[in-house]
Amino acid sequence: MKFFSLNKQAPEVSFKEATIQGQAPDKGLYFPKYLPQFDKKWIDDITDKSNEEIAIDVISPYASDDIPEAELQKIVKETIDFPIPLVQINDRIFSLELFHGPTLAFKDVGARFMSRCLGYFAKERSEKITVLVATSGDTGGAVANGFYNVEGVEVVILYPSGKVSSVQEKQLTTLGKNIHALEVNGSFDDCQQLVKRAFADAQLTSKIFLTSANSINVARWLPQQFYYFFAYKHWVNKSHPPVFCVPSGNFGNICAGMLAHISGLPVQHFIAACNANNVVPRFLQSGVYDVQPAIPTLSNAMDVGNPSNFVRILELFSHQFPQLKNVLTGFTITDTETRDTIRAVKEQEGYLLDPHGAVGYLALQRYLTEHPGLKGIFLETAHPVKFYDVVEPVIDEAIPVPPSIQQILPLPKHSTEIEVDYDVLKEYLIKK
């Protein structure tokens, strides 16, 4: 499989090169040259396949040219060695729980897959690889955990000061060793712009080898298809495929789901569930793509005013707006509605949502109200305990703390505070 830059001004590369580079030299995102297709029999037999078999079949077309079969199987096995259950909430709504991994967030899948691929590729290189990543919350912890102690790889994580939850901050600032946290006095978009500027700096990249672990990296983005296939495997009524509702910030997750659909996965419709950062829902209404500064919300991992991965969604649909609108609907959910949904679902269904899941639940509920014959799945992207400071006052009770979180809460935070100043970041990277 070859990958091309969506800016169309860079050479095609292999999966290995796309993973190591992160972003193309022309600053475009890499995109597969062709989209694999699963035949009807493969889809029909999915219930009889193990998750590992499904994942291998999904990722092999992209990665098998660069990673031997036995190594790829090992990487996949380690990537998904935790449950990903589909839980029924009521007669029309199901939760795909993606929080059973080591950092209790959906990004564990992509981060674990990428870290193991990059660790495999790093063995062939004499120079150290520096992974530079911006996080609005869960990416930081997942990347830190996935790359911790990976030989030949240093990780630098930028996160917005005061705009990630206390648990998220602990997950990305307490590991040490090859994991370095920079606490930026700004927004996630500020962090992302600093990272993009570093990749565009030829002087810097001539001195250190940089790659990205955000969902712009194909090795982070592509394996997120796995859990859409896993959900369909457990979907009882295969003759009526589900609606998928995805809490959306940088749009890598929903883009992976739409790629899976175009490759043959039966899906009724996709919903992008957004908070006040609603550039895509507004685009779907007006046809005008107007980025905006990020607005802080309760669902902080979705506080993105300029989602990087939306350009990939446009490419999936050949930039044809009518075709995209047939497949994707957007909803905007307020913080007040998020709190009300957490409270109502806990009281009425006995199910506890995190703020991102609450945005997804309410958006799905509204869509299903408008389409009475359908049923759907929302992605519960993080464990509620990661946002206990938001959720506990809403439900007026304490959330039981999983052992993995209990272990890190007493640990001291280690981070370096910086302003939104590229020269400071550049000096840090060179001296690190």
User: In b/e form, how buried is each residue of 279-290, taking b as 16+ CB within 10 angstroms?
Assistant: bbbbbbeeeeee
User: In b/e form, how buried is each residue of 334-365, taking b as 16+ CB within 10 angstroms?
Assistant: ebebbbebbbebbeeeebbbbbbbbbbbbbbb
- 260 φ/ψ angles, rounded to the nearest 5 degrees: -60, -40
**Alpha helix (H) ranges present in 69-187?**
69-79, 107-122, 138-147, 166-173
C-beta contacts of 399-404 below 8 A and 24+ residues apart: 399/352, 402/104, 404/102, 404/103, 404/104
3-state secondary structure of 203: helix
Q: How far apart are CA 77 and CA 69, in angstroms?
A: 12
Structural Rg of the chain based on CA atoms: 20
Give me the catalytic one of 107, 163, 233, 375. Answer: 107
Cβ–Cβ < 8 Å for 430, 192: no
**Count of CB atoms situated within 10 Å of the CB of 373:** 8
How big is the CA angle at 315 (ends 251 and 30), to the nearest 5 degrees?
A: 75
Distances in Å between the Cα of 290 and the Cα atoms of 198, 278, 284, 316 are: 25, 10, 11, 20
Q: Name 87's bridge partners.
A: 95
User: In b/e form, how buried is each residue of 292-325, taking b as 16+ CB within 10 angstroms?
Assistant: eebeebbbbbbbbbbbbbbbbbbebbeeeeeebe
CB within 8 A of 127, min separation 6: which ones? 209
107 is catalytic: yes
Query: 198, 229, 183, 382: which is closest to 298 by C-alpha?
Result: 382
Catalytic residues: 107
